[in-house]
A and B are shown apart, each in its own frame.
Chain A
Amino acid sequence: EAEVAQSPRYKITEKSQAVAFWCDPISGHATLYWYRQILGQGPELLVQFQDESVVDDSQLPKDRFSAERLKGVDSTLKIQPAELGDSAMYLCASSLKTGGHVYEQYFGPGTRLTVT
């Protein structure tokens, strides 16, 4: 069964350092999402890609966060510099190209970030 891959699974970094997360969506899924999940809460969207284009980054803290999906396949989410409040689970999800329809999203295992 096809799965969304993420790495690393766990990351501990000091504040003010840079950190990057990688996601490989299910083959054929044109839409890719990055969510942040703070402990005890539901996931919240950071950025959404359709192929290589960003379609929603309204909740992405652009002063420190960046995301790219250069070839429309895998994606990288970067934080620089990391702050204590960035400690969370970062989840990647993918879905079929929607064309206005809503399809179910498939989630990867996540990256647990701890900023010290």
Chain B
Amino acid sequence: AQSVTQPDIHITVSEGASLELRCNYSYGATPYLFWYVQSPGQGLQLLLKYFSGDTLVQGIKGFEAEFKRSQSSFNLRKPSVHWSDAAEYFCAVGATGRRALTFGSGTRLQVQP
């Protein structure tokens, strides 16, 4: 069965600083990987996805993520954080044969002015 680990529960960065959120997955085959963002009291919005091909994927709102098979990681990055990026971020993995996603426990991002 697949699993996702997000090691950082809470991260605080200054506005304008760079950001990297970590995600490690466990899955025997090539995974389908996703990053979602959730604002307080809201549903989840898809930021980006990796299915195959280029291991560096671009998403919305200036986010990108890099798939590293050797490290079983799919870290999310942004070069310059804006105050509006404060939210909770979830990494998820999908697998053929079980189309529902398995989510990590999330990383809460706080942005300081």
Is B83 on the interface with A (CB-CB < 8 A)? no
Q: What per-residue 1/0 map shows which CB atoms of B88-110 lie under 8 Å from chain A? A: 00101011111111011110000
Which secondary structure dominates chain B's binding surface? strand
Is A43 on the interface with B (CB-CB < 8 A)? yes
Contacts of A109 in B (CB 8 A): 42-43
Is B67 on the interface with A (CB-CB < 8 A)? no
Is A22 on the interface with B (CB-CB < 8 A)? no
A104 touches B49 (CB 8 A): yes
Task: Give A42 to B25 CA distance when docked, in angstroms.
Answer: 14
Q: What per-residue 1/0 map shows which CB atoms of A36-48 lie under 8 Å from chain B? A: 0000111111001
Interface residues of B (CB under 8 A from A): 4, 32, 34, 36, 41-46, 49, 51, 90, 92, 94-101, 103-106
Identify 22 residue pairs between A and B in the complex whose beta-carbon atoms are under 8 Å apart, listed by A's number.
A40-B105, A41-B105, A42-B4, A42-B90, A42-B92, A42-B103, A42-B104, A42-B105, A43-B101, A45-B100, A56-B98, A56-B100, A91-B43, A102-B51, A102-B96, A102-B99, A104-B49, A106-B46, A107-B44, A109-B42, A110-B41, A112-B41
